[in-house]
């Protein structure tokens, strides 16, 4: 419950728990701070009703609602908002509902970056990325999530690239070098990453895929090679991000600062020279 600890709820605070799930977080907040002070929302009516029944068995009756978690919350104002779903962008509705002095704790979608931000009197919630990572399912408005980019992957696996060349540096293992992977996601959102390793000699393949049909296939080994196709050059974007990060001293991601408003939000590098819209 690291997130609940960071939320720092005090007696009398109104709490919005985004992502009801089993009802666990809502139950803990309700027992500690009172049912009347806790609202929990989830877009899945089945989960909400199951949680309501489960919590009632323990004598807990927080307010539960089946609504779009990124839409307007059931009440106009809260002192604390905690999301056990990931988002991007941070919903304007949450920031409008967060009282001055209130705190928001949430994760950024497609990364494991956990943000804590406190709302100021000027309508800007300021904070930063926390050292401990957190991964959650992304918020959704439909019954299911969008399909994976399997059609693009079929192309990327076998086709000769329109641009073929050796990489400028080493081919990173984006499943192990997660700071680079998440920086790339912040800079170039919506790119799907896949990887494989040849069992006979340990050579690695890395694919980058995008919904617009752009793709990349990089293979390491004695003669590393990168294939790129589609309207964008995704490997060039990755190398640009890696180069800029190295120029900035490969700063730890928990040094990113957060500035969030209902009009838009951003994460900023320690010196403010690199801004990521969230």
Q: Which residues are CB-contacts of 250 (< 8 A; sequence separation ≥ 6)?
A: 179
Alpha-carbon distance of 167 to 169, in angstroms, equals: 5
Distances from the Cα of 92 to the Cαs of 39, 81, 107, 171, 261, in angstroms? 18, 13, 15, 38, 7
Sorted by where each begins, the domain ranges of the chain are: 2-142+252-277, 150-247
How is residue 198 written in tokens? Answer: 């040849």
Fold of 2-142+252-277: Rossmann fold (3.40.50)
- Does residue 152 contact residue 194 with C-beta atoms inside 8 Å? no
- pLDDT mean values, one per 10 residues, the chain (278 residues): 91 97 96 98 95 97 96 96 96 98 97 97 98 85 68 93 92 91 95 86 90 95 94 97 96 98 97 96
Alpha-carbon distance of 59 to 38, in angstroms, equals: 14
Alpha-carbon distance of 254 to 277, in angstroms, equals: 16
Alpha-carbon distance of 102 to 83, in angstroms, equals: 14
pLDDT of residue 143: 55
3-state DSSP call for residue 167? coil
pLDDT of residue 39: 98
- Does residue 164 contact residue 227 with C-beta atoms inside 8 Å? yes
Alpha-carbon distance of 82 to 91, in angstroms, equals: 12
Q: Which residues are CB-contacts of 166 (< 8 A; sequence separation ≥ 6)?
A: 223, 224, 225, 226
pLDDT of residue 141: 59
pLDDT of residue 29: 98
Looking at domain 150-247, which CATH architecture does it have? 2-Layer Sandwich (3.30)
Q: Give 3-state DSSP helix, strand, coil % of the chain, rounded to 5.
A: 25, 30, 45
pLDDT of residue 168: 87
Q: What is the DSSP string of 211-241?
A: TTS-EEEEE-SSS-EEEEESSS-HHHHHHHH
pLDDT of residue 16: 98
Q: How far is CA 119 from the centre of its chain?
A: 20
DSSP tag of 93: H
CB atoms within 10 A of CB 59: 10
């Amino acid at each position: 419950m690291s997130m609940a600890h960071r939320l720092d709820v005090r007696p009398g605070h109104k709490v919005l728990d985004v992502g009801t799930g089993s009802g666990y977080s809502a139950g803990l907040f309700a027992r500690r701070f009172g049912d009347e002070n806790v609202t929990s929302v989830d877009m899945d009516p089945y989960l909400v009703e199951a949680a309501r029944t489960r919590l009632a068995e323990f004598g807990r009756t927080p307010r539960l609602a089946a609504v779009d978690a990124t839409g307007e919350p059931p009440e106009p104002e809260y002192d604390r908002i905690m999301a056990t779903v990931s988002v991007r962008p941070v919903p304007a509705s949450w920031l409008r509902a967060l009282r001055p002095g209130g705190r928001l704790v949430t994760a950024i979608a497609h990364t494991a970056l956990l943000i804590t931000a406190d709302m100021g009197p000027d309508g800007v919630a300021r904070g930063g990325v926390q050292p401990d990572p957190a991964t959650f399912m992304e918020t959704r408005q439909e019954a299911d999530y969008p399909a994976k980019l399997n059609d693009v992957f079929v192309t990327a696996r076998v086709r000769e690239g329109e641009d073929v060349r050796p990489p400028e540096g080493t081919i990173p293992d984006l499943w192990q070098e997660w700071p680079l992977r998440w920086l790339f996601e912040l800079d170039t959102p919506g790119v799907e990453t896949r990887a494989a390793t040849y069992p006979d000699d340990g050579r690695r393949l890395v694919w980058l895929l995008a919904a617009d049909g752009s793709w990349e296939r990089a293979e390491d080994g004695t003669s590393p090679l990168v294939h790129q196709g589609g309207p964008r050059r995704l490997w060039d974007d990755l190398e640009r991000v890696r180069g800029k990060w190295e120029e900035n001293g490969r700063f730890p991601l928990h040094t990113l600062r957060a500035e969030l408003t209902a009009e838009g939000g951003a994460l900023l590098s320690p010196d403010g020279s690199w801004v990521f819209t969230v």
